[in-house]
Structure 1
Amino acid sequence: MKRAVLLDVSAIMYRAFYGNMNFRTKSEPTGAVYGFANTLLSIINEFKPDYIGAAFDVSRSTLKRSEIYKEYKAQRDAAPEDLIKQIPRIEELLDNFGIKRFKIDGLEADDVLGSLGDTLSKESIETFVVTGDKDLAQILDENINIALLGKGDGGGFKILSTPEDVKEQLGVTPKMIPDLFGLIGDSSDGIPGVRKIGVKKAVPMLDKYGNLEGVYENIDKLTELPGIGKSLVRNMMEDKELAFLSRKLATIEVVDLGIKGEELTYSLNEEKLYEMFKKLEFRSLIKKMNLKEKVVEASVTPNVSVNNQNSQMGLFDMLGNSEPVEVNMGNSDSLEELGENIFLYYGEIGVALVDSKKNIYYSLKDEKRREKFKEFLNSSRKFISYGFKPMLNDGYKVKNMEFDSLIAYHLLTSQTREDVENMIYHVNGDELEKYSEVFGKKTLNEIDENIYGEFLIKRALGIKESYEELSSKIKDENLEEVFRIIEMPLIKVLSSMEVAGIKIDPEYFYKFSEELEEKLNGLTKKIYEIAGEEFNINSPKQLSEILFLKLNLDPIKKTKTGFSTGVEVLEELGNRGAEIAQYILEYRKLSKLKSTYVDPLPKMTDTNNRLHTTFNQTGTATGRLSSSNPNLQNIPVRTDEGIRIRQGFVADKGNVLLGIDYSQIELRVLGEISEDASLIDAYNRGEDLHSLTARKIFDLGENDEVGRDQRAAAKIVNFSIIYGKTAFGLSQELKITPSEATDYIERYFNQYPKVKELENSIIEFAKENGYVETYFKRKRIIDGINSKNMNIRKQGERMAVNTVIQGTAAEVIKKVMITLYDYLIGKNDIKMLLQVHDELIFEVAKDKVQEYKDEIVNIMENTVKFKHVKLEVNSAIGENWAETK
């Protein structure tokens, strides 16, 4: 039986675009094309089709459905500009694969796919429609299958082949899908449906009465169904016309396109494909498809046609990492037999090791094997992995950490997802099953080590396959220095800090918890007294009913589900004199403090009461470090609550904590890269920048004293410029009018004119190039910087400015941490424990603290030397973390 694949181009290219947003050459974005090519190869390998067709969407204005209903898809955002730029390349890619493209005015891609599917089915051709849209399942029949992108058990394709498969996915059979959407609508497409009818209410109606006609013929009986009340029936009566209109909008239109299955044969033009991939710098795809060799062979063998009708057959034999791999159980001898470049993937009970010729799984279950592995890691070999830090944390030292693909992929894409499967899919196109999908909830002692070895080897092979692409792009994108000088050395630094941990006083937290519980009980009592009844304070719905129905307070903001009870609303109610709102805000604050920090922290310590946070090197797009388990970055700095939490972090006996943080580092970075004379002079003279700004925006004379509130407001203005806050946002924070906020910002830029010039130059660079660079050349793609949507564009502009300044400050601290790590190696009386934004915390022997403090201050102030502005730090010593600030 012949087999066909039909491609929903929009679904594939959107998924590819968002997975590879930051892939580009010097002249054009390439991520969507790269991801599309990888997905196309996966599709061909998975289904081995004889025929392929590709359906494109057309302009909304040409759609027949838009003539029927003007709101149809009217609310959809325009496609991102960087994606639009890549559509001609995707068309070129399909042409080079010899795949016929369909783009028909008036018809959506779904209609085209349905029409082609109908033709193929009538010819008894087994057809797979590759899409992300479950709605397309309405065209399913005995020959048509739906392959849902990324929904399979291993992240591949979930195949819907029977009405039962569809019912499991959507709750109804294929033929009922238009009726379902007639009732529930589809907000993404602007299909209205019936008000307040969702899947849970619609499915029982269709199960019982078959279709919309049946439902409306029996409308008087609907209240007999669970959850259907009179108000919903009334909605259905009032929206009857909309229901039938919605069904029509959701129904795929099948038309005769005059196409036969045999017209969908495809053939690779390998020469053109090679030239295209070469221009777009898709080295891994050239290698994966052996294109260079094939093109060379064709050029020296005149009788061999590159554009061969059967050339796609070679693709069917391509090995994807999702296929079973041979598991060689390694021993000491096999370690020695491995070559010079080792691709490894580390697991808790073993490690996969792959070189140019072989792959082995080496168990780490006994001490002798672990010791042998340590010797192996200390050899002259070069190691390439995805995330070295877990291995370092377990006590393994790697002499030559050549390349960490986790870091490289993050630098190239700003991706913050850390699962290796995500990287392998987007770089190689290979979809691997997740750990939970292979092993479920089995413990490491319960799993089959052969299966575990295969699982790790697949990932090591994926790392190997992605290495050339990633390493080449790091060089091409001029990221080699950031990668080699900052990020790779930082891995060891962060590992040492995670292993050291910081001590907490559990007894302190237990008592603090009891104190908070008492306060919360008191607040609860007061809230219940005002409300006149007990209710769930944490339930927005119940709280809304108390505030706006029972107490009859004026609502401030409405959401889709009712009246808002968010922080802004409660603050406004409090300002209006509603005492209950103030109590609820205090209750929320203390409750969050207790549940987020005070109660969990003592449960997360080791036997020595030390807490080991995880520092996430790839956790933010700007380059700043984040931390998790627990997140120590989010502990408030200046608030009473934050201080109370920090008091529970203590030094070990005989030691003290030393805290050193940069003084206004982001503003100093701003002064350096803007070269603004007023900023530079202020820092060189040792002036307080916040007071200086206050004088300007509040029009104070030289002899006028700057008030505390004025300085605080000026501080907010200073940092608002860095974070790109709008006049409206500033007005909200300072509780002033937008016009006053606008005046503050204008006065700020009058005081520091070069800052405005810098902002404009960063934004113009981003618009021209699609990305920005920090002082140390880290890049970040700024999606939406050229958007026609003003809100998206403004967000991109803020992101651009913020990345340059905040990213540069983050890299200063990273460079300093590396220098400090090298200085502290071998010293037993001091440890670097924490990095929280601009602050570093050390644990030091009491009798050495002054000596170390002076040296560390010197390193922090002089490791990075700017041309115009000197970096300065503040330091403090204490028995606990609160005393070091």
Structure 2
Amino acid sequence: MKRAVLLDVSAIMYRAYFANMNFRTKNEPTGAVYGFINTLLSIINEFKPDYMAAAFDVKRSSLKRTEIYSDYKSNRQSTPEDLVRQIPRIEEVLDAFNINRYKIEGYEADDVLGSLAKKLAKQDIEVIIVTGDKDLSQLVEKNITVALLGKGTEGEKFGTLKTSEDVVNYLGVVPEKIPDLFGLIGDKSDGIPGVTKIGEKKALAIFSQYDSLEKIYDNIDNLKSIDGIGPSLIKNLVNEKDIAFMSRELAKIFSDLDIDIEESKLQYGMDRKKFYTLCKVLEFKMFIKKLSLEEKPQNPTLFSMEDTIEKKESPKIIEEEKIEFTKEISLNFSNRELLIIDNENSLNEQKEYLNNYKKIASIYYEELGIILSTEEKDFYFPLNHGGLLAKNIDRNLLINFISELDIKFISYNFKALLNLGISFKSMYMDMMIAYHLISSQTKIDPIIPIIEYSTLEPKDYKTAFGKINAELITAQEFSKYLSDISIGILAIYDELNYLLKKEDLYKILMDNEMPLIPVLSLMERKGIKIDVQYFKNYSLELEKELLKIEKAIYEEAGEVFNINSPKQLGDILFVKLNLPSGKKTKTGYSTDVMVLEDLESYGYDIARLLLDYRKLNKLKTTYVDTLPLLIDENSRIHTSFNQIGTATGRLSSSDPNLQNIPVKTDDGIKIREGFVSEVGKVLMSIDYSQVELRVLTSMSKDENLIEAYKEEKDLHDLTARRIFNLPDTEAVSREQRTIAKIINFSIIYGKTPFGLAKELKIPVKDASEYIKKYFEQYPRVTNFEREIIEFGEEHGYVKTLFGRKRYISGIDSKNKTIKSQAERMAVNTVIQGTAAEVLKKVMVKVYDTLKDKEDIALLLQVHDELIFEVEETSVEKYSEILADIMKNTVQLEDVKLNININIGKNWAEAK
């Protein structure tokens, strides 16, 4: 039987867009196109169709369904501008594959797909509809299958609905009854209303008795016998009968549109020249390699995909411009050995081979074990497998063995291996950080770059093992999963190494990022001590305070209710108390922070109390109650530092996040009091004084800023004088200095007059005037920011002082909101990213100086602050050494770096 695959283009391209938002060339965004091609190749490889067609949506205003219900799909947000720009490119992809595009005015892609499917099925052609839309499940019948994007299980890429039973298992009803189901529950994504307060669970309970709207309304008086269906729901059904039947009509797919399905219009095949040209323009080198597009075809231009999709050879990499490319890795795909090394004997058997191996090898770790891959072999070392039959290699034996190997290792997240205790003779390159520098990607996922830069397609953990308990995964199963990733890490090395050099990012990786890995590993392993009893006592204090605030809230409200329920709170504030309501969501009134702050500004005490309650409750649950649960046997907390966690280059912290502890508030200070030094030691905090403002001064070359720092004036005081036109004889008030300080930093973060007005709680007009006066006083800052933005517009990215790049999506957008947001991001990246790199260089220098010292250790980095634990007798000595390192490791032009040093038995004292 012949097979046809029908593509729901909107579903595929939206999914592709959100999965690859960072992808772009100098001139245009490319993520949706890239993801679309990837999905298209997977579809062709998976289903091997004889025919293909693609369905497109039309504008909402032209839809026939809006004649039935004017609000149909009116709730949908407009298509993201970056995606709109890529739709013509997606059409080019389809044209390059000779896949016919179908669009019918007045009807949706679903209707086009339904009509094509029905006509083809009648001709005894097997039809597969690829979509992400559950509505299309109503088309499932003999010869029609629905393949759902991202719904595959047990390693499958697509969740396929082939029979009525499959649809019942998926949605709870047979295909032909799906419109009736949506008649009751509606469909929020399409703006189909349904009946108020009837969700899927209650609807299916009704359908278990009566399987159509007609039967339901014929038996309306009998519904009360169904569990969970009370009088109020029956009343809604009665009152909204017309809406239910209308909703059913809206949910029905038109399947009898007049569409030409001549065989010649459904045949497809890749036009190699056309597709190669497109991939070249969009810089999709992976597809050029994967499909061998540069090789001259022996046959006609159109060809079958089957000969190319499964290729696993390592294709020849294209040399570009004058960048020298050296191929360092030649992988053997056909005769690889995968060995499981779970005892000393098997380890000794491989010693000679590994000791004599002098080329690049990859090493990669996940929770159950370590994989080591050479060009020809893979070695799996099980570490944490459970179950009766599990055999794990001795951890110390393995650590010592790997630490002694004289191999040029590459990895994806070396830090995880260092944290096990392994010390490498050569950490050649961390591919995670390399890919981050090239792409600005912040996800810790090796699958993404492997698929992008190689012909391999390893599975992620969820796809490979689903919900299987880790203890049930055998070494054999896990070794295959890990080896696919490890081979992929080797496979992408040459290309990433080439791109780093081409993009002038190699030096950043080798000078800044690679030396930082052991620094962060040591910090994570050291951890910082907390006083557990202190946090328990503080928790009781907060509990008492929260109970007091709760009581006051209930008094204001006139009744007891669930403060943490947005719906109940919304009813109290905007129905019972009749306060002026802000925005309303689909589920009720919004009670977010902005709404409560607005109410507080109007003088409503209940809003102030609610804000206090939320602040203290978050403090208690996020830190005070949680931190004591994370300690080791020595009462030390071990946070994780992520080198690729932010696009600007700043380090992020997680498990727990110690960088989000409030800085200047009383509550933040109280939390810091719980972080303590060991007996006989103190905590030493060294932080930079206004490092980002000093970076701005140096890079902008603003004469007034340079003069202020040269004369060691208080910059916030100086800015206040200039903004408020104060003479030298008049003192700057505390309030004026605070405003000036906020404005100084707002320039870095690109705050708008509206944002500044909100923070200072002043009129937007005043905020706008402050910003205007700031730029009048520091004119070179305006020029500098404009230069950054113009550079970003021209190149699609911006650079820090040290050459780190960040691609800025939307900087050339015609949408003012998107463009202004991108411009703020560009300026912030240059200044904040440069400051972050200063800290990184300093941390590496500190590590090199202190790594063999027993009386001091670097424990934490929090933004511009480094926290050390030092023996009391060594404080004076290290204060001088560290002050010199922090002031002089990096020397900015025209401005000196200054620091503050504080000592204390706890972090609050040292702050």
TM over 0.5: yes
Tell me the residue number matched to 2:431. Answer: 405
Post-superposition CA distance 1:420-441 (Å, at most 9, x none): 3455455557362425962746
Residue 511 (structure 2) aligned to one of 482, 485, 505: 485
SS at match of 2:301: coil
**Match of residue 765 from structure 1:** 791
User: Aligned with 1:396: secondary structure?
Assistant: coil
**Distance in 2 between residues matched to 1:492 and 1:574, nearest whole Å:** 48
Candidates 775, 785, 800, aligned match of 2:811 = 785
- What is the RMSD of the two structures over their aligned residues, measured on CA atoms? 3.3
The code of the aligned residue for 1:122 comes to K
Equivalent residues of 1:51, 1:266 under 8 A apart: yes
Secondary structure at the residue paired with 2:482? helix
Aligned residue among 284, 288, 299 for 1:282: 284
Q: For 1:553 and 1:91, locate their aligned partners in 2 and report how far apart those are by CA, in whole Å.
A: 51
Q: Is the 8 A contact 2:458 2:484 kept in 1?
A: no
Q: 1:139 maps to which residue?
A: 139
How far does residue 52 in structure 1 lie from its aligned partner after superposition?
Answer: 2.4
Query: Would you say 1:363 and 2:379 are equivalent positions?
Result: no
- Indicate the residue corresponding to 1:686 in structure 2: 712
Q: Which residue of 2 aligns with 1:328?
A: 339
Query: How far 1:563 sits from its partner (Å)?
Result: 3.8
Q: Is the 8 A contact 2:286 2:452 kept in 1?
A: no
Change in CA separation of 1:371 and 1:795 when aligned onto 2, cut-off 3 Å: same
- Report the Cα distance in structure 2 between the residues aligned to 1:35 and 1:159, rounded to whole angstroms: 20
Q: Deviations over 1:206-237 (max 9, x none)?
A: 55443444445555665665555666566556
**8 Å contact from structure 1 (residues 322, 430) kept in 2:** no
Map residues 785-864 of structure 1 onto 2, 5 A cutoff. Answer: 785-864=811-890
Q: Which among 455, 458, 461 is matched to residue 434 of structure 1?
A: 461
**How far is 1:373 from its partner?**
5.3
CA displacement at 1:631 relative to structure 2 = 0.9
1:129 aligns with 2:145: no
Is 1:305 aligned to residue 305 of structure 2? Answer: no
Q: Secondary structure at the match of 1:188?
A: helix
Q: What displacement does 1:754 show?
A: 2.4
Residues 1:164 and 2:153 are matched in the alignment: no
Structure 1 distance, partners of 2:609, 2:576, is 17
Deviation at 1:633, TM superposition (A): 0.5
| Correspondence 1:677 to 2:703 | yes
Alignment check: 8 A CA contact 2:458 2:488 kept: no
In structure 1, what is the Cα distance between the partners aligned to 2:156 and 2:908? 46
Task: Give runs of aligned pairs for residues 571-610 of structure 1, distance below 5 A.
Answer: 571=597, 573=599, 578-610=604-636
Gap regions ≥5 residues in structure 1: 299-303
Question: How has the CA–CA distance of structure 1 residues 155 and 261 changed in structure 2, closer, same or farther, with 3 Å as cutoff?
Answer: same
- Give the TM-score normalised by structure 1: 0.91
Q: What does 1:280-679 align with in structure 2 at a 5 Å threshold?
A: 280-292=282-294, 295-296=295-296, 298=297, 304-307=298-301, 309-310=303-304, 312-315=306-309, 327-330=338-341, 331-332=346-347, 333-334=349-350, 336-337=352-353, 339=357, 340-364=359-383, 370-371=396-397, 374-425=400-451, 430=457, 432-435=459-462, 438=465, 440=467, 442-444=469-471, 446-528=472-554, 531=557, 533-547=559-573, 555=581, 558-571=584-597, 573=599, 578-679=604-705
Alpha-carbon distance between aligned partners in 2 of 1:530 and 1:100, rounded to the nearest angstrom: 65
Pair 1:73–1:587, CA change in 2 (3 A): closer
Partner Cα separation in structure 2 for residue 758 and residue 243 of structure 1: 60
Contact 2:156 2:463 in 1 (8 A): no
Structure 2: any 5+ residue segments left out of the alignment?
A: 315-331, 384-390
Q: What is the CA distance between 1:407 and its match in structure 2? A: 1.7
Query: CA-to-partner distance for each residue in 1:119-164, whole Å, 9 max, x for gaps?
Result: 3212222222111111121221111111111121247211111223
CA distance in 2, matches of 1:32, 1:546: 44
Query: Residue 328 of structure 1 aligns to a residue in which SS?
Result: strand
Find the residue that maps to 2:339 and give its secondary structure.
coil
**Secondary structure at 2:148's aligned position in 1?**
strand
Task: Select between 20-29 and 387-396 the one with higher mean Cα deviation.
Answer: 20-29
Partner AA of 1:329 in structure 2: I
Structure 2 SS opposite 1:832: strand
1:329 to 1:290, Cα distance in 2 relative to 1, 3 A: farther
Matched AA of 2:891: K
The one-letter code sitting in structure 2 at the alignment partner of 1:864 is V
1:323 shift after superposition: 14
User: Which residue does 2:15 correspond to in 1?
Assistant: 15
Partner letter of residue 339 of structure 2? N
Whichever residue aligns with residue 175 of structure 2, its letter is P
SS at structure 1 position matched to 2:379: strand
Is the alpha carbon distance of 1:66 and 1:350 closer, same or farther for their aligned partners in structure 2, counting shifts above 3 Å? same
Q: Aligned pair in 2 of structure 1 residues 398, 720: CA closer, same or farther (>3 Å)?
A: same
- 1:739 maps to which of 757, 761, 765: 765
Shift of 1:661: 0.7
Distance in 2 between residues matched to 1:541 and 1:87, nearest whole Å: 40
In structure 1, distance between residues paired with 2:362 and 2:175: 47
Q: Which amino acid aligns with 1:4?
A: A
Q: Which moved more, 1:365-374 or 1:623-632?
A: 365-374
Pair 1:201–1:843, CA change in 2 (3 A): same
The change in CA–CA distance for 1:767 and 1:713 in structure 2 (over 3 A counts) is: same
Q: Do the aligned partners of 2:458 and 2:481 also contact (CA within 8 Å) in 1?
A: no
8 Å contact kept, 2:364–2:412: yes
Residue 721 (str. 1) matches residue 740 (str. 2): no
Distance 1:556 1:22, change over 3 A: closer
Counterpart of 2:516, as a letter, is L
Once the 2 structures are TM-superposed, how far is the Cα of residue 404 of structure 1 from its aligned partner? 2.0
- Worse-matched range after superposition: 587-596 or 395-404: 587-596
Check conservation: 2:72, 2:191, Cα contact below 8 A.
yes
Encode CA deviations 1:168-202: one digit per residue, 9 max, x unaligned: 33333222233333444444334444455443444
Q: For the structure 1 residues 17 and 571, does the alpha-carbon distance in structure 2 shift closer, same or farther, using more than 3 Å as the test?
A: closer
Q: 1:478 to 1:561 in 2, by over 3 A?
A: same
Given residue 370 of structure 2, which amino acid in structure 1 is its aligned partner? Answer: V
Distance, in Å, in 1 between the alignment partners of 2:303 and 2:588 is 61
Q: Which moved more, 1:699-708 or 1:58-67?
A: 58-67
Indicate yes or no: 2:268 matched with 1:266: yes
Q: Residues 521, 511 of structure 1: CA spacing in aligned structure 2 closer, same or farther, 3 A cutoff?
A: same
Deviation at 1:495, TM superposition (A): 0.7
> CA–CA distance in 2 between the matches of 1:794 and 1:245?
42
- 3-state SS of paired residue (1:874): strand
Residue 371 of structure 1, CA deviation: 3.5
Q: Quickly say closer, same or farther: Cα 1:366–1:358, change in 2 above 3 A.
A: closer
2:727 is equivalent to residue 701 of structure 1 = yes
Q: Which letter maps to 1:285?
A: F
With over 3 angstroms needed to count, the CA separation of the structure-2 counterparts of 1:540 and 1:288, relative to structure 1, is: same
Instruction: Indicate the residue corresponding to 1:301 in structure 2.
Output: none
Structure 1 Cα separation of the partners of residues 105 and 458 of structure 2: 35
CA distances 1:621-641 after superposition (whole Å, capped 9, x unpaired): 222211111110111111111
How far does residue 93 in structure 1 lie from its aligned partner after superposition?
Answer: 3.0
Shift in Å at residue 19 of structure 1? 2.2
